[in-house]
Structure 1
Amino acid sequence: MSGSDERADAGGTTSPPRSPADSEAATAEDGDRARSRAGLIGVIVTVLLIAASVIIPAATGWNVRAGHFPPLHAIWDPGIGPGTPAAILLAVLTVIYAPRAAGWSWRRLLWVVYGWGVAWMLALGLIDGWYGIGGILDEKTEYLRTARIVVADVPAFLRGFIERIPIDAEDNWAVHVAGHPPGATLFFVGLVAIGLGGAIAAGIVITLIAGTTAIAVLQTTRLLGSEQLARRAAPFLTVGPAAIWMCVSADAMFAAVAAWATFALAVAATTRRTGAMIAGSLGAGLLYGYCVMMSYGLPLLAVLALTVLWLARSWRPIPWVAVAGLAVVGVFAVFGFAWWEAFPVLRERYWAGIASDRPGAYWTWADLAAVAVSAGPWVGAGIGAAVVDGIRPTAQPRGRRAVALLALAGVAMCLLATASQMSRAEVERIWLPFVPWMLVGTALLPVRWQRAGLIVQLASALVVLHLVFTRW
């Protein structure tokens, strides 16, 4: 008699064999439980990290040299402003209507993401009045004042750029001009040349460009992961605390260029057509090359680029990307700015300034708290879920692992940046190019988490902007 017959004769019952559908459902349920646990842990760790970064300097009197509300470069300034009603209304409507986006066409979704994102940025900016849209861009530390001067002779600007980086140089560059390659300033030179060199006009241009970042990230996620997961990530890429800094910061423009470069690379890596592969690769190379000419920290985008190529299982774009990227760097060198000569000079200026007074014992970890404020606490939940799907490649569809690795690439870029010790403070703005890639991890969380996550993200943005003046 077989074992099952013996159990039946003894009055026991036998369980029918599981069907493949039952097994898949059980696996999915187990995966959701694991992501929920990891997501909860991620949120708790993120909140504790932010709390520690705020409480420790306040409780100990530790001067970490970043305004009056570290880890943000901000001052305590509670109040409301003209944009407050619009921001609250948009937040409420987002919570109500975001779940309906699942039924929209892809094109309609992208249009709404762009329009809603721009509206959210402008509403948050207007909480500080028109100054919040672009006033900071007219400060002496920013690019616009220099752009208005050098627009008359750009070649001379490039030829003499390196010699005016040092802090003790005669007529040295303003802080942000000196702290970035000249490609950043040239963007504003272009705005001045076409009559958009006013602070408000430049702020609106940056906002309109920044609004496209979410579109590029969603398109990349769709190509490498899945449309369903991209749809889930859409609300978190559209609204959240990062918009506080995107409306007024050149780094938001850097983020958009980086996102479109990555999308072009994803197109090149996933297409079967040689012409499309070459065109996408050249486009990616030109945009990545210009990223390098805008920020000394953006070569870290190589981590994201390699992740995209690995996920697509295609290395064909590399030679074309390299040629186009090096061509951009080479053109700047021909006109007088050699990146490899400028970086050591910039490094000396960096350590000759306030960075040397900012304690590494605090900023090495508080940088992560600052970017968590910018990305929003829910980024921790997404990263937790990404860790689960990243280490369980056989337990979920391939699209899930792709999205997980994109999110973890965003985390890796932040970790490398803080390890370099060249990013002490102000990373809520400086690391904007890395933030949306971390946020795609929110797509991996169970659907029931979405509304709670949106409430957390929206509330944190409103609280931060109504309690402190961010200076950006």
Structure 2
Amino acid sequence: MAATMRAAALWAAFIAAVFAIGTRAAHTQGDLLPPLHASARLLTWQMLPAVAYAALAVAVLPPLARRMAWRPLLLAAWAAAAGWAIVLALSDGWDALHRPLDAPTEYPVAIPAVDADPALWLRTFTERLAGYTTHVRGHPPLPTLLVWTLDAAGLHGTGWAAALIIAAGSSAAAAVAVTVRAVAGERIARAAVPFLALAPLAVWVATTMDALFLGVAAWGTALLARRRALAGGLVLGALPYLSYGLLPLFAVPAVVVLLQRPRWWPMLAGLAVVPAAFTLGGFWWPDGVAATHATYLISGGSAQRSYAFYLVGNLAVLALLTGPAVAAAGPAAARALRRRMPPEAPVALLAAAALVGVLALDLSGVTRGEVERIWVPFAAWLLPLAALTPSRIGTRPWLAAQAATAIALQALVHSHW
């Protein structure tokens, strides 16, 4: 118990120290709040619905997770995670759910360009990259094509895109639980569900496209965990075409493959489908990486930030996204890995794989800030660690601490995403 509380105290001290250093350098970042791409604020009464939702969820989720039948529990986890993301966002007003996608830097701005000739747009995507908006420039073409597809299907307006993003991102609570159950058993999966549904990262589920990336990655991994090799490969094959930064996230499904041994040939066949389709359509992925990196270096944005500060600061952001309960579980996770303790060790392995992916991106230097959204697909795999936290004081205090972290983030930080 003492080790658990020390780990939680270190979590708080680490975050406080990073923000203290960042505040001293804030004048170089305009109105930003390093290491977050955000500004400080104070919401009061606006947070009351979120506080009420959190109190109800803390009371209800642990007994539901213990007693409800498994499939209904997955739907409940999805609904609870979606509600949590929505109620947090609504503290900024009714239009907050789609407002981030209305920005001139976002994907929907490119819809008219795709409309003119989708096949030509894809073939010339790389060579015309410099003329697109910030988010289109910074990613492969698939996110823009998804937004365009909604519009082409008659679902006009950013509200539909926001609904897709929130639905996909919140569904990861169910998908991660499915994976944990497959590799570590139902007891730990059930214990993880409340922490998956009431996570601090929900602040960035409504509405950043990275939440959709989270959902795609989580379900692809869950399919592999259930030995649905072809379907899992097909879904995971889309990840590099959603975001170049998702490549290190393959460390997580790699662990699942080692643990579950799905059939290799169907999985590899599935993985090849999306890359083959984009290549035949005229988009060559390595050229896209090179072009995006070139625009990143000359953009004058995050590439100009301090490598040393954000090398550490990015990890503080990950700590905020995952919360104190995950930090408190650190000693138990380390012990499980060291002793290869079943069923805890597989959960720790999934978290370690996600952390390896984060460290790979962090050390590369291409993620200097703005990682509160980039880390979302990685952070979800650390959340099940909270199920390993020693339960002498019970689940509810740690779950309340998770909810309080999200509420504090929403109340004190105005995110630019």
TM-score in terms of structure 2 length? 0.95
Task: Give the Cα separation in 1 of the matches to 2:176 and 2:378.
Answer: 11
Structure 2 CA distance, aligned partners of 1:261 and 1:68? 35
Residues 1:286 and 2:286 are matched in the alignment: no
Q: CA 1:283 to 1:443, structure 2 compared with 1: closer, same or farther past 3 Å?
A: same
Alpha-carbon separation, structure 2, partners of 1:66 and 1:377: 29
- Pair 64,294 (structure 1): closer, same or farther in 2 beyond 3 Å: farther
Counterpart CA distance in 1 for 2:49 and 2:148 is 33
Partner of residue 168, structure 2: 209
Q: 1 CA distance for matches of 2:126 and 2:118?
A: 14
Are the equivalent residues in 2 in contact too, given 1:57–1:64 (CA < 8 A)?
A: no
TM-superposed CA distance for 1:37, in Å, is 4.5
Name the count of aligned residue pairs. Answer: 414
| 2:303 and 2:368 in contact (8 A); partners too | no
User: What amino acid maps onto 1:456 in structure 2?
Assistant: A
Q: 1:400 aligns to what?
A: 344
User: How far off its partner does 1:383 sit?
Assistant: 3.4
1:54-81 deviation per Cα after TM superposition (whole angstroms, max 9, x unaligned): 10122x3355638421211111121246
Question: Which of the residues 303, 309, 312 maps onto 2:251?
Answer: 303
2:9 corresponds in structure 1 to: 44
Q: Residue 319 of structure 2 corresponds to which residue in structure 1?
A: 372
**Structure 2 CA distance for aligned equivalents of residues 368 and 117 of structure 1:** 24
Please report how far the alpha carbon of residue 367 of structure 1 lies from its aligned counterpart in structure 2 after TM superposition: 0.5
Q: How far apart are residue 449 of structure 1 and its match?
A: 4.4
Tell me how far 1:141 sits from its aligned partner: 0.8
Structure 2 vs 1, CA of residues 324 and 456 (structure 1 numbering), >3 Å: closer, same or farther? same
Pair 1:192 & 2:146 matched = no
The yes-or-no answer on 1:124 pairing with 2:68 is: no
List per-residue Cα deviations over 1:405-455 (Å, max 9, x = no partner). Answer: 112112111111101111111111111111111111111112334212111
Identity of matched residues, %: 33
Question: Quick check: 1:462 aligned with 2:410?
Answer: no
User: Which amino acid is the alignment partner of residue 358 of structure 1?
Assistant: R
Deviation, 1:42, is: 2.9
Q: Distance in 1 between matches of 2:2 and 2:337?
A: 15
Out of 189, 193, 196, the residue aligned to residue 237 of structure 1 is 196
Q: Give the whole-Å Cα distance in 1 for the aligned partners of 2:208 and 2:74.
A: 23
1:445 pairs with 2:389: yes
* Correspondence 1:410 to 2:354: yes
Closer, same or farther in 2 for the Cα pair 1:66/1:112, shift >3 Å?
Answer: farther
Q: Is the CA contact 2:164–2:212 (under 8 Å) kept in the aligned structure 1?
A: no
Matched AA of 1:299: L
Distance in 1, matches of 2:150 and 2:324, equals 35
Q: What does 1:253-292 align with in structure 2 at a 5 Å threshold?
A: 253-268=212-227, 280-292=228-240
Runs of 5+ consecutive residues of structure 1 not aligned to the other structure: 1-35, 167-171, 269-279
Which residue is 2:278 aligned to? Answer: 332
Name the larger-Rg structure. Answer: 1
1:15-61 superposed Cα distances (whole Å, 9 cap, x missing partner): xxxxxxxxxxxxxxxxxxxxx44433432232222112210122x33
Structure 2 residue runs without a partner (length 5+) = none
- Is 1:390–2:337 an aligned residue pair? yes
Please give the alpha-carbon distance, in whole angstroms, between the structure 1 residues aligned to 2:241 and 2:78: 27
Distance 1:74 1:41 in 2: 29
- Residue 469 of structure 1 aligns to a residue in which SS? strand
Query: 130-139 vs 189-198, which deviates more?
Result: 189-198
Q: Say if 2:4 and 2:390, in contact at 8 Å, map to a contact too.
A: no
Q: Cα distance 1:63–1:329, how it changes in 2: closer, same or farther (>3 A)? A: farther
- AA partner of residue 134 (structure 1): H
CA distance in 1, matches of 2:120, 2:3: 54
2:321 maps to 1:362: no
What pairs with 1:11-26 in structure 2 (closer than 5 Å)? none
Residue 228 and residue 67 in structure 1: after superposition, are their counterparts in 2 closer, same or farther (change >3 A)?
farther
Instruction: Quote the residue 2:18 is aligned against.
Output: 53
CA pair 148-383 structure 1, distance change in 2 beyond 3 A: farther
Distance 1:463 1:235 in 2: 19
Q: Is the 8 A contact 2:192 2:385 kept in 1?
A: yes
The answer to whether the Cα contact below 8 Å between 1:121 and 1:244 also exists between their aligned partners in 2 is yes
Aligned counterparts of 1:409 and 1:384: Cα–Cα separation in 2: 17
The one of 342, 366, 371 equivalent to 1:422 is 366
Query: Structure 2 counterpart of 1:229, which letter?
Result: I
**What corresponds to 1:318 in structure 2?**
264
Change (3 A) 1:325 1:67: farther
- Residues 342-374 of structure 1: CA deviation (Å, up to 9, x unaligned): 111111111212122110010011001112212
The residue aligned with 1:23 is none
Question: Which residue of 341, 345, 348 maps to 2:291?
Answer: 345
Instruction: Spell out, residue by residue over 1:259-300, the C-alpha distance to the aligned partner (whole angstroms, 9 max, x if none).
Output: 0000111111xxxxxxxxxxx211111111111100001111
**Whole-Å separation in 2 of the counterparts to 1:218 and 1:104:** 14
TM-score where L is the length of structure 1: 0.84
Distance change >3 Å, CA 197–CA 390, structure 1 → 2: farther
Please, which of 218, 221, 229 is the counterpart of residue 180 of structure 2?
221
| Matching residue of 2:38 | 74
The answer on whether the counterparts of 2:199 and 2:383 sit within 8 Å (CA) in structure 1 is no
For residues 151-170 of structure 1, what are the alpha-carbon distances to aligned partners after superposition, in whole Å with 9 as ceiling and x for unaligned? 3421111111101224xxxx
Q: Which amino acid aligns with 1:339?
A: W
* 1:80-126 deviation digits (Å, cap 9, x = unpaired): 465x3321111111222222121221123212211111111111110
Q: Distance in 1 between matches of 2:49 and 2:328?
A: 28
**Which residue number corresponds to residue 77 of structure 2?**
113
